[in-house]
Structure 1
Amino acid sequence: MVMDIRLARIDDRLIHGQVATAWSKATGIERILVVSDTVAQDELRKFLLKQAAPPGIKSNVITKRKLIEVYHDQLFDHLRVMLLFEIPQDVLEVVEAGVDIQSINIGGMRFLEGKKMVTNFISLDKSDVQCFLKLADLGIELETRKVPADRKNDLIQLIQKEKMMP
C-alpha cells in the first residue's frame, strides 16, 4: 500500500483559509504536505504554514525528494493526505518519479509578467502549459476550482480556448 492522496492541489498561496477549511473537510484528510524545495529551506515560511493548518490536521513542509522517499514508506500507508504544490513543474517531477496522482486541482496561480490569465485566479506561461500538457498526456485529470462547491472546469479546455496550445 501507499499513502492515500485525497487531494493534490496547485496553489501558490499554499495553506490559506479555503484550503484550511473547505478542502480539508471535503476530503477528510489527516495531514497536509506542502511539497516545495524552496519553502522547505525557508524557516519562517515553514513555521507560518504549520500555524495555518486547521485544528486537528498536521502539516509538514517537505522537499520533492522527501515526498518521493516517503510515498512508498509503510509508515505512511493509508495516511489521508493533501499534497500542496506551488508550481506544476514540481507536480510533474514527483509524478515522473513514481508518485501516483490521479487528479490535480488547480486553485491559484498568480499573475506575473509573461503569464496570461486563463481564469480570474489562474495565470500561465509557456512552461506551465507544457507541464500541464505532459500531465494530461499521463492521464491525470486537471481541474480548476477554488473551493469544493465550485463546478469543475477542465484546464486543458481553458488552455485551448485561450489559444495557448504549443
Structure 2
Amino acid sequence: MAMDVRLARIDDRLIHGQVATVWTKTTGINRILVVNDDVAKDTLRKNLLKQAAPPGVVANVITVQKMIDIWTNPKFDVFKAMLLFTNPHDVKTIIDGGVDLKSINIGGMSYSEGKKMVTTAIAVDDKDAECFEYLASKGIELDVRKVVADKQEDMITILKNKFYE
C-alpha cells in the first residue's frame, strides 16, 4: 500500500480557483499536499494556501524531502491526495527518492527570463525540458491541461514542436 495519489500537478499558482474547485471535485481527494521547499519555509504563503483549500479538503505544505519520507509510511495511506508542485525539478527529485507516480498534469509554469513559452500557460528552460524528458523516460505520462475539460496534450510532443524548433 501507499498513498493514493489521484492527481500530481505542476502549477506555480498552486491552489487557485480551478484547482480548488474543479480538480478536487473531479478527483475526489481529501488532501492537498503542496510540495515545495521555498513555500514550506514561507509561513505567510503556507497559511494562505491552507486557507485556500475547498471545504472538506485539508491542505498541507511540505518540503520535497518530507514527501519522500512520508511516501512509504502507512499512516498516510488514508490520503486521497493531490500533489501540487511549482516545477518539474521537485517532481524528478521525489521520483528519484522512490515516490511512484504514473502521470503528471502540467497546468502552468510562468514565464521568466531565459524561459520559452511552449503553450499559453507554460514556459520552460533547458533544465525544465531535461526534467520532463527524464520523467517521460521513466514511463510517466506528462499530461498538459490547464483545466479538466481541456484536451490532453503530451508535454514531450509540445517540447519537440515548440521548444526544440
Question: What is the TM-score of this pair, normalised by structure 2?
Answer: 0.98
What residue in structure 1 maps to residue 2 of structure 2?
Answer: 2
Task: Read off the aligned partner of 2:23 and give its amino acid letter.
Answer: W
What's the offset of the Cα at 1:87?
Answer: 0.7
Which secondary structure does the structure 2 equivalent of 1:70 belong to? helix
> Superposed, which structure 2 residues align to 1:2-151 within 5 Å?
2-151=2-151
What residue in structure 1 maps to residue 155 of structure 2?
Answer: 155
User: Structure 2: how far apart are the matches of 1:142 and 1:81?
Assistant: 18
Which secondary structure does the structure 1 equivalent of 2:34 belong to? strand
User: Structure 2: how far apart are the matches of 1:158 and 1:38?
Assistant: 28
**Contact 2:7–2:27 (8 Å) recurs in 1:** yes
User: Structure 2: how far apart are the matches of 1:31 and 1:77?
Assistant: 11
Task: List structure 1 runs of 4+ shifted beyond 4 angstroms.
Answer: none
User: Structure 1: how far apart are the matches of 2:31 and 2:146?
Assistant: 20
Report the RMSD for the aligned CA atoms in angstroms: 0.9
Mind listing any 5+ residue stretches in structure 2 that lack a counterpart? none
Aligned residues: 165
Which secondary structure does the structure 2 equivalent of 1:56 belong to? coil
**Percent identity for Structure 1 against Structure 2:** 58
Which secondary structure does the structure 2 equivalent of 1:162 belong to? helix
User: Structure 2: how far apart are the matches of 1:12 and 1:94?
Assistant: 17
What's the offset of the Cα at 1:151?
Answer: 0.7
**Contact 2:110–2:123 (8 Å) recurs in 1:** yes
**Contact 2:118–2:163 (8 Å) recurs in 1:** no
What's the offset of the Cα at 1:78?
Answer: 3.9
Task: Read off the aligned partner of 2:104 and give its amino acid letter.
Answer: I
What's the offset of the Cα at 1:77?
Answer: 1.2
